[in-house]
Amino acid sequence: MLEQVRVGVIGIGNMGSSHARRLAAGRIPGAILTAVCDVNPERLDWAKAHLGPDVQLFTDANDFYRAKCVDAVVIATPHYDHPPLAITAFEHGLHVLVEKPAGVYTKQVRAMNEAAARSGKVFSMMYNQRTNPLYQKVRELVRSGELGELKRVVWIITNWYRSQSYYDSGGWRATWAGEGGGVLLNQDPHQLDLWQWICGMPKRVRAFCYYGKYHDIEVEDDVTAYVEYANGATGLFVTSTGEAPGTNRLELSGDRGKIVVEDGRLTFWRLRVPEREFNATYKGGFGSPEAWKCEIPVSGENSQHVGILTNWIDAILKGTPLLAPGHEGIYGLELSNAMHLSSWTDAWVELPIDEELFYQMLQDHINKSTFKKKEADRTLDVSGTF
């Protein structure tokens, strides 16, 4: 049994450097940072200056894995590289935590999940919004039946405003070859994950994605998607990086009332009599069920990234259940893939999606992309490498 987990970080850009700092500072009990890896020499210079002399530095992931200086790895590289790096880590007997999104397309993420299952190692996703007591309470109210059978869910998440200069800051940004998508894949993975975590997966999707509507980019920056669930409930997901000021409002309607999450508050309009029962028994013509407006108290720490890292380490050392199991990363990604595929085909998309069709259509977009990686003449295989 391990008493301390030696952790390495692959990719020390914005998110990876933050994770490395937390680990190096001892903020994650039971974990010690022993190595980092990045292809950019400047990032390794930063690591040498800020992470301490005992942290080993690597420019090649294969060398990193072969050095056997870690028990677990945090993968915080560009999106396409998440699954192949995770698969290799599992093959080396390492525990893995992957930054969001799980990958770019479900075909490669399914291969990652299969490798994780074969390895028996602890696999988690950096879905740090699952630590938010607000969304945990919403999930509890829905899953416990307190809201009653779901009728409708609407999430307007448009407070992702980005200027053109943001997109111009890197040639890989907002390109099919560099990121694999726009607002759905870059900004929205947390909301798409929470949506399915709370409500479950819909049965079909019809989406309208607008590419470069507000910016000089090739991927989507404005999306409106409509979904249907098996029980007849419907949903709407609206997102954009081109609106200011933006909105973040989640509204769920059920047989026993309505829940609204906005501005950090959780409000439950609780029906005294369920709507279906009232509808069947009320004889007064005009009228509606009595509703009580309840401000639901939410307590607990929103530990975010530290919480997910700590939970992952505790799962390795103590067998603690994972808050964000890695294999669940495919669900939110399937929603974004379905939205893209619906937009590309101008049609409804049934879930599970046609992974081969999505893969081929993504290839077409990559081949036309303005951003080309150094080895862009090679195509993506199932592991996600170029």
Average pLDDT, the chain: 95
| pLDDT at residue 170, as a whole number | 80
The reported pTM is: 0.95
For 281-299, what is the mean pLDDT? 96
Number of domains the chain is built from: 2
Whether residues 289 and 249 fall in one domain: yes
User: Is-cis flag, bond preceding 297, omega within 30?
Assistant: no
Residues in contact with 123: Cβ distance below 8 Å, sequence separation at least 6, in sequence order = 86, 90, 95, 96, 97, 98, 116, 325, 326, 327
Q: What is the CATH number of the domain that holds 194?
A: 3.30.360.10
User: Is residue 224 in a domain?
Assistant: yes
> From the CB of residue 55, how many other CB atoms can be counted at a distance below 10 Å?
20
Residues 313-337 have pLDDT tens digits of: 999 999 999 999 999 999 999 999 9
What whole-number distance in Å separates Cα of residue 10 and Cα of residue 295? Answer: 43
Whether residues 31 and 44 fall in one domain: yes
Whether residues 172 and 217 fall in one domain: yes
| pLDDT at residue 171, as a whole number | 82
| pLDDT at residue 159, as a whole number | 98
Using alpha carbons only, give the angle 140, 237, 210 rounded to the nearest 5 degrees: 155
What whole-number distance in Å separates Cα of residue 223 and Cα of residue 294? Answer: 32
User: Is residue 365 in a domain?
Assistant: no
Residue 10 tokens, joined? 């692959």
User: Is residue 345 in a domain?
Assistant: no
User: Is residue 334 in a domain?
Assistant: no
Residues 229-248 have pLDDT tens digits of: 999 999 999 999 999 999 99
Task: Please name every residue paired with 47 in a beta bridge, in sequence order, or none if there are none.
Answer: none
Whether residues 187 and 287 fall in one domain: yes
User: Is residue 364 in a domain?
Assistant: no
Residues 17-32 have pLDDT tens digits of: 999 999 999 999 999 9
Whether residues 225 and 122 fall in one domain: no
Residues 28-83 have pLDDT tens digits of: 999 999 999 999 999 999 999 999 999 999 999 999 999 999 999 999 999 999 99
For 348-356, what is the mean pLDDT? 98
Whether residues 229 and 119 fall in one domain: no
Whether residues 25 and 67 fall in one domain: yes
Q: Is the pLDDT of residue 367 over 80?
A: yes
Whether residues 60 and 169 fall in one domain: no
| pLDDT at residue 172, as a whole number | 85
| pLDDT at residue 384, as a whole number | 33
Q: Is the pLDDT of residue 11 over 60?
A: yes
Q: What is the CATH number of the domain that holds 314?
A: 3.40.50.720
| pLDDT at residue 375, as a whole number | 36
Whether residues 169 and 115 fall in one domain: no
| pLDDT at residue 2, as a whole number | 84
Task: Answer whether 242's CB lies under 8 Å from 112's CB.
Answer: no
| pLDDT at residue 1, as a whole number | 75
For 81-94, what is the mean pLDDT? 98
User: Is residue 380 in a domain?
Assistant: no
- Domain end (from 250, 277, 295): 295
Residues 112-137 have pLDDT tens digits of: 999 999 999 999 999 999 999 999 99
User: Is residue 259 in a domain?
Assistant: yes
Task: Say how many Å lie between the first and final Cα of the chain, rounded.
Answer: 38
Whether residues 311 and 197 fall in one domain: no
Share of the chain above pLDDT 70, in %: 96
- Domain end (from 244, 277, 295): 295
| pLDDT at residue 385, as a whole number | 31
Task: Please name every residue paired with 74 in a beta bridge, in sequence order, or none if there are none.
Answer: 9, 97
- Domain end (from 247, 276, 295): 295
Residues 167-196 have pLDDT tens digits of: 998 888 899 999 999 999 999 999 999 999
| pLDDT at residue 25, as a whole number | 98
User: Is residue 333 in a domain?
Assistant: no
For 333-361, what is the mean pLDDT? 98
Structural domain of residue 74, as residue ranges? 5-129+304-325
Whether residues 311 and 273 fall in one domain: no
| pLDDT at residue 260, as a whole number | 98
Sign for the CA dihedral angle at 367, 370, 376, 381 comes to negative
Share of the chain above pLDDT 90, in %: 94
Whether residues 16 and 90 fall in one domain: yes
